[in-house]
Structure 1
């Protein structure tokens, strides 16, 4: 029996959060409302992987055999199939560097790459990063397409505020602020994150921006949910902004139009 990835939304909902370079909230509407995260959880996986790389426990240049088969929550193997598969992913068993898995996880939202990275890290590593950043609305409880985890009720959720904060930590030179805040990522890790986000192929916020604006983003979507989070402007400047918009209960065209309107309303100086 096929299980739904997420419960169907009961009503239309929209949430957003806009941060400045220091992490100060410039605009927000229901920023802590939880939504099914869809592929936006790949930002949290990326952050955990880059922290591991900075700590020397994950070698980004190590080749690993490509695969679409993974160990599920019940201890048995499951295989990704259908729409989960990326036709451009290397064939089963072909070598691919961990660094390339991270890029493919972001720029084309590869589910094979995401589950492969999660199998290298473990879900607890992602949970530690969520706790370290005090992301109150975020849970990453399962690998993508794991039927045992789905049947057990495990889910992946986040909020607009948590996405904007995560984006800032991934690409911002200053990192999070305040007592006990974790150190910024190493320059090489920030550079990898920026490269992958700028190479984004599934853009929702981006088309609402004028030509020449430096933007990197990560979108997420399943039936009934459509989200995007982006950095707007050069990340090393004081003018950079971090915008996350989450929607539920809308058709894709309506959700994209809603996100575009918010971009033009919130950052008119950057918009078309």
Structure 2
């Protein structure tokens, strides 16, 4: 059985690898440490996206209203100084600093280019409590969003962002279900829009790289030193849609001074799992 082979291989990998694989309308076909918590990295951005659409549906904000683009934010730690982003994956958002941008555009850049600055701007408008509320609404049990990105004062005080493979699968599965019928996250129209944004993801070197070119996959990945995650819903043309999530965490010291070996190995693990799940897509129960 493919998943027995995967478990045996992953048992020999010097890192924690969590996984969840299953059709959207059934119990998972395969899990591996599904409730182990990992630092979330950019996978928190899916929850931020949901919180934004929920706020728009409630009439609290207008997705097409221009908002100031600045790089200064309140810390989640009371009394801590305001903080700024020092790193981003999207020059387009940085080019808007001092000007304005639509919230809808910022949300797109947050996902398709994984912009940290756009993420903090969206969080600034919806609030951390609204983002944290997305997890229990999705049926998640162990994940949390406690702070924005690069809020180091909060991080050093123990305020963090955590995910599990099972919780990311629950969030994405409910988004996929919500596009068909009303659910706990948002209206079908909003869920469809969010899935379209996730399907436009431009960082495709892990989960998407294990799929045939052109396969629709609504996904988000995340990475920092020692961490690489990917979570998505795959839509084959010849089989039922399925969720696949892989979370990896290792000791950065194991990857040498640059950490590149860790990054490359984690990508290869996710690509391999994604490809092997695709090959077994007709057998997922």
TM-score, L = length of structure 1: 0.86
The DSSP-based 3-state class of the residue aligned with 2:83 is strand
**Who is 1:5 aligned against?**
none
- Deviation >6 Å, runs of 4+: none
Number of the residue aligned with 2:278: 267
Higher helix share: 2
Aligned pairs for 1:1-272 (under 5 A) are: 12-22=15-25, 24-73=27-76, 74-75=78-79, 76-81=81-86, 83-84=87-88, 86-89=90-93, 90-172=95-177, 173-174=179-180, 182-183=183-184, 185-203=186-204, 204-233=206-235, 239-249=240-250, 251-268=262-279
Whether contact under 8 Å (1:44, 1:126) holds in the other structure is yes
- What CA deviation, in whole Å up to 9, does each residue of 1:18-53 have, x standing for no partner? 131225212111111101110001111111111222
Distance 1:55 1:23 in 2: 31
What's the C-alpha RMSD, in Å, of the aligned pairs?
Answer: 2.3
Structure 1: which 5+ runs fail to align?
Answer: 1-10, 177-181
TM-score w.r.t. length of structure 2: 0.82
Structure 2 unaligned runs (5+)? 1-13, 256-261
Q: How many pairs are equivalent?
A: 254
State how far apart, in whole Å, the 2-side matches of 1:184 and 1:200 are. Answer: 21
Q: Distance in 1 between matches of 2:55 and 2:202?
A: 26
Q: Which residue of 2 aligns with 1:179?
A: none
Q: Shift in Å at residue 146 of structure 1?
A: 1.2
CA distance in 2, matches of 1:146, 1:218: 21
Deviations 1:206-229 (A, max 9, x none): 011012311121000000010101
Q: Following TM superposition, by how much is the alpha carbon of 1:111 offset from its aligned partner in structure 2, in angstroms?
A: 0.6
CA distance in 2, matches of 1:219, 1:141: 19
Q: Kindly tell me: are residues 95 and 31 of structure 1, through their superposed partners in 2, closer, same or farther at Cα, counting changes over 3 Å?
A: same
SS at match of 1:154: coil
Q: Structure 1's 136 and 183: CA in aligned 2 closer, same or farther, altered over 3 A?
A: closer
Distance change >3 Å, CA 202–CA 212, structure 1 → 2 = closer
Contact persistence 1:168–1:242 (CA under 8 A): yes
